[in-house]
Amino acid sequence: MSKFIYLLGKGVGLIFRRPIASMGTLLSLFLLFFLFDMLWVTSRTIGAYYDRQLADINIEIFLQDSLPDSAVGALVSSIGQMDGVDTAGYISRDDARARLENLMGTDLLDGFESNPLPRSVIVTFKENFLNSTRLEEFKNKIQSFQGIAEVFYARGWLERVELAKVLARRALLILGIIIFLAAFLNLTYAIRLAVRTGEYGIRQLSLMGGGTYFISFPYIFSAAIYALAASAGSWLVLNYTSRFYSLKNVEILIPGPSEIVYFCLLATLIGLVGGFIGSRRIAA
């Protein structure tokens, strides 16, 4: 136990023995992790924003004029029972006229002898059904029903939204790999420099019978401390600064505590691996 405490003390001592170099390593790691944090928050925020937009999407089914009013109820009921459908609401000609007047601010049909607007059914969907593939399948099925004139939904907009979400996730993945690789190389190089500056002490420990793992442990531990401190610090700063910024109609989504803990653990693991590689090659 005393030996373990001694090694921990040596690892902490390596950090404070070279304050300028340690500060440079911490700041560079902090900036890398802070950049990743911002990308992560941006990706989550964009995804949540588009999800809210998708929640309002619907399909409007226009009915043929030849379809009698007595058959509309059965048709609406059949549509409402289809897979993925949340609600199916019937819009009569009078309802359509009222909606148009509310939209335009005036009755554009005033003076018409008859109402030329078509009847329709507005269909909303469950959350897991809101994607272009399933909505297109629904459209193809509904077009085979008797009395259907036209089926409309914002397919082009939906496909662009889905593409934006995919691109955001891919960008986060690619940039995340690059950032973590840069952090790994940064730590490895920092530990190599620390080992080189401490060659005299390492040689003495070797002559006294210290093994490779015994000598390497303080360097590995200090690398893990660098990574943990930088990753935790980046989240603390981001959480604090996010309180002073807000976007209209957009909620900034910060990952939950468990996700932040996993991120810090991953950063610490990278520190351990980087410290191990950086110290082993020189110490050997």
How far is 48 from 253, CA to CA, in rounded Å? 8
145 and 10 within one domain:
no
65 and 119 within one domain:
yes
Residue 180 lies in a domain: yes
How far is 35 from 122, CA to CA, in rounded Å? 44
266 and 188 within one domain:
yes
Which of 99, 120, 153 is a domain's end point?
Answer: 153
**pLDDT of 29 higher than 80:** yes
CATH code of the domain containing 101: 3.30.70.3040
Tell which residue, 171, 220, 242, 179, has the closest CA to residue 30: 179
The total number of structural domains that make up the chain: 2
Question: How many other C-beta atoms lie within 10 A of the C-beta of residue 182?
Answer: 16
77 and 46 within one domain:
no
Residue 33 CB burial class (10 angstroms; 0-12, 13-18, ≥19): buried
86 and 142 within one domain:
yes
129 and 39 within one domain:
no
Residue 143 lies in a domain: yes
- Angle made by CA atoms 127, 130, 84, in degrees to the nearest 5: 70
Residue 159 lies in a domain: no
**pLDDT of 139 higher than 70:** yes
Residue 162 lies in a domain: no
How far is 164 from 158, CA to CA, in rounded Å? 10
> Tens of pLDDT along 272-281?
888 888 776 5
**pLDDT of 211 higher than 50:** no
278 and 177 within one domain:
yes
> Tens of pLDDT along 228-278?
999 999 999 988 887 777 666 667 788 888 999 999 999 999 988 888 887
Domain that holds residue 114: 58-153
**pLDDT of 198 higher than 50:** yes
pLDDT band at 207 (very low <50, low <70, confident <90, very high): very low
Which of 96, 119, 153 is a domain's end point?
Answer: 153
**pLDDT of 9 higher than 70:** no
Of the listed ranges 92-101, 168-177, 254-263, 267-276, the least confidently predicted one is: 92-101
Alpha-carbon Rg of the chain, whole angstroms?
31
103 and 188 within one domain:
no
Element (H, E) at 148: strand 148-152
Residue 158 lies in a domain: no
64 and 20 within one domain:
no
